């Protein structure tokens, strides 16, 4: 199993290119199931999760081909991949596949909408919380689907003549349930109104791609979406939006290590709340046409309180990274996690580096320390693992992070990008 080693103490200077967003790329790939025409996705990040979903889509009969690479001089530099779901050969997504990655459960809606039936394994629990799917299922039921649960599988059937439009009123914000509702509604007969939709930029990106495919959607970017169903969707070309979580992670890395870094391709408009918070900690952020510049001088890091919220609030996917920053702040920071009930597994690992963090229910109370020291630590989930890397940037000596397959799921070329701006980092393979 690979590990990474980081030796702390170097500032970060130079340029880092921001990749396409994992959490937009995955649902965009899944929308290819809605049409028998090719969907070409540009700026695709090269990630383990993308490879996993490629295998899952392949099982349904989707063909994909890498079409080329953007020049590194472009602000977007991911791969271009064409997805072709002309023939769906299987409407079952088995446990062995869905259990590898929760987002693969989202194939349910497009398979049901296009093929009239789908059998998809329940995704099961996940390290960061129980993560039920009741909202996904109630949304599909509101469009006329018959749903049964059998031996750990969701078996969904559309009525004769297909799904019909309806009113979906979400009692709480769910990104995944919004993706499913939106995808299903595009092919349902008549009008669907989704209330309480997630407004995350990744949902907006998917909705914009669906419009390019011929879907009729009003209210994109707001909690109220109105969709007029169409008989079929066509092909399209779409570039995956820049990854706001990678951007926020790098901003916090510079805020921690000090230095001057330009984040090429970063989209400040998808990260306003987090940028405001990070500025309050003492980093300077300059929004430019082609990206974001982050400067942190030798001044102290100020302690700030944060509460995670659905977009446009402070993202749960940046909570662990922000906690790592607060570990070295002057004063005490309270970090409240309101989205997932068990997203504090990084606390124990940060403590191994010398952090002082106390947990009180859904709140972590972080008392800043003057220095951290390198240690052996373990990645527990995707964002938690990168928080350990942020702490390691300023820890005295060497930090060795194991189980970094979590990192590979969602950060493209992390070592290369860190190394390029002066971080002493190496991957050790066994
Ligand atoms: C998406 O997960 C992201 N995953 C997560 O990113 C992200 O943390 C999360 O949204 C919140 O922003 C992808 O986009 C692939 P939710 P999702 O449904 O859709 C509860 C990362 O690190 N809920 O918005 O699964 C749920 O338990 C990841 O990249 C229900 O109660 O999250 C949670 O408490 C991890 N019933 C809350 O809603 C449901 O039917 C929000 O979850 C669905 C969700």
Q: Which of 174, 180, 183, 247 to mutate to test the pocket of ligand 1 (most atoms within 8 A of CB)?
A: 174
| Sheet arrangement for strand 424-428 | 376-378, 398-402, 3-7, 424-428
Determine if ligand 1 sits within 6 Å of the CB of residue 129.
yes
The pLDDT tens digits for 258-285 are 999 999 999 999 999 999 999 999 999 9
* Total Cβ atoms within 10 A of residue 372: 24
Tokens coding 116: 């009239």
To the question of pTM greater than 0.95 for the whole model, the response is yes
Tokens coding 413: 């070329």
The pLDDT tens digits for 318-370 are 999 999 999 999 999 999 999 998 899 999 999 999 999 999 999 999 999 99
Residue nearest atom 31 of ligand 1, based on CA coordinates: 132
CA distance to 193, 226, 395, per residue, from 207 (Å) = 14, 11, 42
- pLDDT at residue 371 tops 80: yes
Average pLDDT taken over every residue of the chain = 94
Atom of ligand 1 nearest to the CA of 200: 12
The pLDDT tens digits for 383-428 are 999 999 999 999 999 999 999 888 999 999 999 999 999 999 999 9
User: Which pLDDT score is estimated for 259?
Assistant: 98
* Cα-based torsion angle of the residue sequence 236, 232, 202, 385 in order, rounded to the nearest 10 degrees: -90
CA distance to 93, 141, 156, 161, 180, per residue, from 144 (Å) = 21, 5, 10, 11, 14
Distance separating alpha carbons of residues 119 and 146, to the nearest angstrom: 12
């Amino acid at each position: 199993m690979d590990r990474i080693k980081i030796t702390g103490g170097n500032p970060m200077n130079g340029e880092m290119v921001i990749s396409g967003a994992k959490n937009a790329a995955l649902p965009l790939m899944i929308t290819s199931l809605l049409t028998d025409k090719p969907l070409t996705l540009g700026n695709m990040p090269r990630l383990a999760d993308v490879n996993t979903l490629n295998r899952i889509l392949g099982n349904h009969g989707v063909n994909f081909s890498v079409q080329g690479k953007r020049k590194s001089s472009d602000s977007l530099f991911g791969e271009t991949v064409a997805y072709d779901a002309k023939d769906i050969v299987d409407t079952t997504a088995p446990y062995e596949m869905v259990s590898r990655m929760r987002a693969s459960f989202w194939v349910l809606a497009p398979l049901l909408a296009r093929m009239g039936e789908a059998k998809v394994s329940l995704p099961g629990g996940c390290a960061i919380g129980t993560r039920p799917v009741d909202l996904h299922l109630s949304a599909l039921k509101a469009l006329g689907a018959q749903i049964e649960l059998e031996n750990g599988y969701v078996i969904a059937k559309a009525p004769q003549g297909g799904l019909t439009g309806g009113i979906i009123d979400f009692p709480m914000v769910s990104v995944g349930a919004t993706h499913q509702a939106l995808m299903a509604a595009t092919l349902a007969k008549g009008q669907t109104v989704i209330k309480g939709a997630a407004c995350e930029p990744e949902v907006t990106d998917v909705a914009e791609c669906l419009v390019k495919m011929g879907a009729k959607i009003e209210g994109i970017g707001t909690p109220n979406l109105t969709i007029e169903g169409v008989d079929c969707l066509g092909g399209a070309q779409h570039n995956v939006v820049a990854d706001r979580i990678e951007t926020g992670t790098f901003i916090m890395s510079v805020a921690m290590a000090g230095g001057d870094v330009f984040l090429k391709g970063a989209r400040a408009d998808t990260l306003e709340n987090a940028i405001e918070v990070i500025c309050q900690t003492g980093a300077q952020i300059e929004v430019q046409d082609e990206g974001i510049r982050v400067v942190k001088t030798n001044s102290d890091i100020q302690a700030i309180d944060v509460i995670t919220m659905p977009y446009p609030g402070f993202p749960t996917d940046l909570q662990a990274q922000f906690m790592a920053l607060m570990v070295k702040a002057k004063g005490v920071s309270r970090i409240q996690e309101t989205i997932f009930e068990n997203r504090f597994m990084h606390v124990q690992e940060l403590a191994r580096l010398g952090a002082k963090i106390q947990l009180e229910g859904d709140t972590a109370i972080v008392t800043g320390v003057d220095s951290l020291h390198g240690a052996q630590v373990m990645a527990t989930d995707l964002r938690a693992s990168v928080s350990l890397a942020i702490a390691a940037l300023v820890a005295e000596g060497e930090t060795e992070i194991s189980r970094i397959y979590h990192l590979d799921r969602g950060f493209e070329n992390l070592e290369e990008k860190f190394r390029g701006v002066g971080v002493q980092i190496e991957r050790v393979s066994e």
